[in-house]
């Protein structure tokens, strides 16, 4: 029951904040390139990202909308485990940028916006780690 309460509160926060006139900078300069940082997607980095995604580290609540397995929630958040990406190419750099700036105006069958860093106060290292985890979810289908 506690997980559903957290999911409801997170969904409510996303919907309320998404309904306001939020504006995010999408400039490439504002989002560091993971490739430029020469980031290695190590098993430890992916494990940290898993902990962030599932709310055990950094205050991440990604699983609330994307589901505990990353398969998404119909009408709320997309499946992260398939090869279909609604807002880009699914590359690691793309995922880093998406997590960093969020999705204020989602396309397709997704109704809820995603706040920058999913609404959490993630460090850049945590953004890189959760992005590595998300990338690992669908990397095998490419």
Residue ranges making up the domain that contains 63? 2-141
Q: What is the CATH number of the domain that holds 90?
A: 1.10.760.10
Quote the CA–CA distance of 91 and 85 in Å, as a whole number: 10
Express each pLDDT in 70-113 by its tens digit. Answer: 999 988 899 999 988 888 899 999 999 999 999 998 887 787 89
Query: How much is the pTM?
Result: 0.73
Q: Tell me which of 83 and 132 has the higher pLDDT.
A: 132
Kindly report which listed range (1-15, 51-65, 90-104, 121-135) carries the lowest average pLDDT score. Answer: 1-15
For residues 32 and 136, the model is more confident at: 136
- Rounded Cα gap, residues 69 and 7, in angstroms: 15
Model pLDDT for residues 29-59, shown as the tens digit of each residue = 445 555 544 456 899 999 999 999 999 999 9
Q: For residue 26, is pLDDT > 90? A: no
Q: How far is CA 2 from the centre of its chain?
A: 22
Cα(35)–Cα(23) distance, integer angstroms: 26
- Count of structural domains within the chain: 1
Between 122 and 15, the higher pLDDT residue: 122
């Amino acid at each position: 029951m506690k997980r559903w309460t957290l999911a409801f509160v997170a969904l409510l926060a996303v919907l309320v904040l998404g309904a306001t006139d939020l504006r995010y900078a999408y400039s490439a300069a504002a989002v560091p390139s993971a490739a430029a940082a020469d980031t290695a997607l190590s098993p430890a980095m992916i494990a940290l990202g898993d902990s962030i995604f599932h709310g055990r580290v950094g205050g991440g609540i990604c699983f609330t909308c994307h589901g505990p397995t990353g398969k998404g929630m119909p009408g709320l958040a997309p499946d992260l485990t398939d090869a279909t990406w609604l807002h880009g190419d699914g590359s690691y750099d793309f995922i880093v940028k998406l997590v960093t700036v969020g999705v204020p105006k989602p396309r397709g069958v997704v109704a809820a916006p995603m706040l920058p860093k999913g609404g959490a106060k993630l460090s850049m290292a945590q953004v890189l780690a959760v992005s590595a985890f998300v990338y690992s979810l669908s990397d095998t289908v490419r």
